[in-house]
A and B are shown apart, each in its own frame.
Chain A
Amino acid sequence: MPVAQVSGLTVKYGNKVAVQDLSCEVPEGCVGLLGPNGAGKTTLIKALLGFVPAASGTGSVLGHDIKSEPLQIRMEVGLMPELDCHIPGLSAVEYVAYAGELSGMPRSHAIRRAHEVLDYCALGEARYRNLETYSTGMKQRAKLAQALVHGPKLLFLDEPTNGLDPEGRDEMLELIRDISHDKNVNVIVSSHLLPDIEKTCDYVIVMQQGTVRRQESVSGIRAVSATQWDVELREAVERFGEALSSVGGSVLHSVSNFYRIEMSASEVPASLRIFEAAQASGAQIRSLRAAQRSLEEAFMEAIQ
């Protein structure tokens, strides 16, 4: 069941069309909204949350209509905005507890829960400090904590690694991966940073100029074609190429003991034929998988 879906969605800011006739389904799990700046990722999130009205089209989040049930949606989702934002004059624990109260939690529950999520976000004793004294990384964690405090079923993370140093970025990505893969919270990560999406997401929606260019699983979007395979041998074997040709395959290129091969169509599965060729040539296969390209290559192809 999709956690969010839109159909024919158009969003305008004045005369400027930010999202045009967009249709997509966001599956459960960790989904990346990928696109260059100005692609409409943030606008799509804002439309799903009911911040900006749709000029046309329909949509739903967790089964709630984006036009008629925005409050229900916001009660069940969490948003970590892109901008540096906090509520002035509060410590992190007050801020997160306040966010919980705003989400409809009783104050005593909100306070207890604030401590739990701040612990989880590794803010430790710093939670008692005023937010205005925080570093960028700590502010990002506090932003994540306020989005998590009410136990959302779906979390929107808009450029979650903005302004973070490499170490802080790795920690944030680790946190996102943990939330989405180990804690059963659906996550939509909006980013223009391909490595962030690659590290955290299972599914990706590529956007450009307000439209969806491609949506697929990360492994699917990276797959080159169904007939190409990447083989790693224990050591390079010259006769492996010859053996492959006898089973309908050919080496496209090789670097050291890594081979990219192409297998012709046959009733016998390609993987079996590759193992046959290896046995015949005395090669030992270390790994075998469908050939993949980098997400960057896939992304560039999608937006061209």
Chain B
Amino acid sequence: MSAPNGPIADLSYRNYDGPKSVDGLRWWPIAKNGIRGAMRKKFFWVLVALAMLPYLFLIIQMIVLNAITSRGDDEVTRNLPTFIQMLAGAYGNTVWVMFVALLVGTGSIAADNRANALQVYLSKPITRRDYVIGKLMSVFVPVYAVSLLPMLIATSFAAFDQGVVSFFQDHPLLYFKLFVVAAVPALAHSSLICGLSAWNKTPWMVGVIYVAIYFFWNAVSMIASFAMRNQIGDEAAITLRFFSIDGAISGLGYRIIGSMPGQGFGAARDLFPAPLPLFALLAAFVILGVFLCYSRVRAVEVVSG
């Protein structure tokens, strides 16, 4: 407050005596800043649109199938894929979700490493755990939203199309399952990409490494599955086929949704991958990602020797 005969207002530095708290969700400002940063990028919205394309196609498919069904040809109707099969098919197009995760996540910690931002973060009342959780959540939340929202829209369309009561009688837990299944790609991508990002200073390098691992591992598991099918049997082969980042995401998703994708207008595959190895793989991704982040995030360089 200015003195009665003093200047009208003192525009120089004043001490801050407003509210401050170190309790509560200290990681939330970090997550919020990351999410805000992602949403500011135009390319993020392009990728969001591309990630929605399989579900848009699903809606178009439903409209076409409705038209076919209305003709009343029983032979044709019997061979049409169900909504759940089509939903599993749309979910299986995970590549765009991965690109969203790459856009949001590659620079999450790598850019901080390059700009020496960790000292700024950790000089505030923020622990390493807060920082890591904040960074993971800044990737997880957008990826989760991009996975979940189109599924919700497509499912709601199907519910209104079929009739809400009848739809919920047929699929009582479907909405709940969607909230769970959307977390699978979000967990896998956010933890692995953040883990790689923590050990790098160059975001694009993180992207290149992750994409290489993602596709190479996918190809290896696919080839191994085909090559070993006769020796290990169909059930083990299909589990092996899904034993990769992409495979674990889609395999677990199919288990949760309750269907493998329909094969065009033919019958659905009836063999699911075993859930336990895929769940263990997903847990390993999360643990590895968190470990990589936590082991690298420090306010000072540790000199050994």
B16 and A14 within 8 A (CB): no
Q: Indicate whether A86 reaches chain B with its CB closer than 8 angstroms.
A: yes
Bound CA span A74–B305, Å = 30
B22 and A71 within 8 A (CB): yes
Interface readout for B159-179 with A: 1 if CB under 8 Å, 0 if not?
A: 000000000000000000000
Bound CA span A151–B299, Å = 22
Bound CA span A177–B11, Å = 17
- The interface residues of chain B lying within 8 Å CB-to-CB of A15 are 305
- The interface residues of chain B lying within 8 Å CB-to-CB of A104 are 20-22, 26, 125
- In the complex, what residue of chain B is closest to A183 when comparing beta carbons? B13
- The interface residues of chain A lying within 8 Å CB-to-CB of B74 are none
Nearest CB of B to A67, in Å: 14
Nearest CB of A to B131, in Å: 10
A120 and B13 within 8 A (CB): yes
Interface readout for B112-149 with A: 1 if CB under 8 Å, 0 if not?
A: 10111101111111110000000000000000000000
Bound CA span A15–B305, Å = 6
B20 and A120 within 8 A (CB): no
Identify which of B29-37, B49-57, B80-88, B259-267 touches chain A: B29-37
B16 and A149 within 8 A (CB): yes
- The interface residues of chain B lying within 8 Å CB-to-CB of A231 are none
Identify which of A21-29, A77-85, A258-266 touches chain B: A77-85
- The interface residues of chain A lying within 8 Å CB-to-CB of B120 are 81, 85-87, 99, 146
A81 and B116 within 8 A (CB): yes
Given that A99-B120, A99-B124, A146-B120 are contacting pairs, would A88 and B115 also be in contact in the complex, using a CB cutoff of 8 Å? yes
- The interface residues of chain A lying within 8 Å CB-to-CB of B111 are 88-89
- The interface residues of chain B lying within 8 Å CB-to-CB of A52 are 300
A75 and B22 within 8 A (CB): yes
Identify which of A109-117, A194-202, A204-212, A242-250 touches chain B: A109-117
- In the complex, what residue of chain A is closest to B203 when comparing beta carbons? A88
Q: Indicate whether A190 reaches chain B with its CB closer than 8 angstroms.
A: no
Partner among A16, A51, A87, A98 whose Cβ is within 8 Å of the Cβ of B115: A87
Given that A14-B302, A88-B107, A88-B112 are contacting pairs, would A83 and B119 also be in contact in the complex, using a CB cutoff of 8 Å? yes
Bound CA span A99–B120, Å = 8
A106 and B19 within 8 A (CB): yes
Bound CA span A150–B115, Å = 22
Bound CA span A84–B305, Å = 27
B115 and A105 within 8 A (CB): no
- The interface residues of chain B lying within 8 Å CB-to-CB of A65 are none
A residues 58-100 near B (Cβ < 8 Å) are: 71-72, 74-75, 78-79, 81, 83-89, 98-99
Q: Indicate whether B304 reaches chain A with its CB closer than 8 angstroms.
A: yes
A46 and B15 within 8 A (CB): no
Interface readout for A119-149 with B: 1 if CB under 8 Å, 0 if not?
A: 1100000000000000000000000001111
- The interface residues of chain B lying within 8 Å CB-to-CB of A171 are none
Q: Indicate whether A103 reaches chain B with its CB closer than 8 angstroms.
A: yes
Q: Indicate whether B73 reaches chain A with its CB closer than 8 angstroms.
A: no
A14 and B22 within 8 A (CB): no
Interface readout for B1-33 with A: 1 if CB under 8 Å, 0 if not?
A: 000000000011111111111100010011001
Q: Indicate whether B276 reaches chain A with its CB closer than 8 angstroms.
A: no
Nearest CB of B to A174, in Å: 12
Nearest CB of B to A144, in Å: 11
A85 and B115 within 8 A (CB): yes
Q: Indicate whether B303 reaches chain A with its CB closer than 8 angstroms.
A: yes
- The interface residues of chain A lying within 8 Å CB-to-CB of B29 are 98, 101-102
- The interface residues of chain B lying within 8 Å CB-to-CB of A106 are 18-19
Closest 7 CB pairs between A and B?
A151-B16, A85-B116, A79-B123, A102-B124, A51-B299, A101-B29, A13-B303
Chain B contact residues, CB within 8 Å of chain A = 11-22, 26, 29-30, 33, 37, 107, 111-112, 114-117, 119-127, 298-300, 302-305
Chain A contact residues, CB within 8 Å of chain B = 13-16, 46, 49, 51-52, 71-72, 74-75, 78-79, 81, 83-89, 98-99, 101-106, 109, 113, 116-117, 119-120, 146-151, 178-179, 183-185
Q: List 17 A-B contacts (CB under 8 A).
A: A46-B299, A71-B127, A74-B123, A74-B126, A79-B119, A81-B120, A85-B116, A86-B115, A87-B117, A88-B107, A98-B33, A101-B33, A102-B121, A105-B16, A105-B19, A113-B18, A119-B11
Known: A71-B125, A151-B15. 12 other contacts (CB 8 A): A71-B22, A75-B20, A79-B123, A81-B116, A85-B117, A85-B119, A86-B116, A88-B117, A104-B20, A104-B22, A183-B12, A183-B13
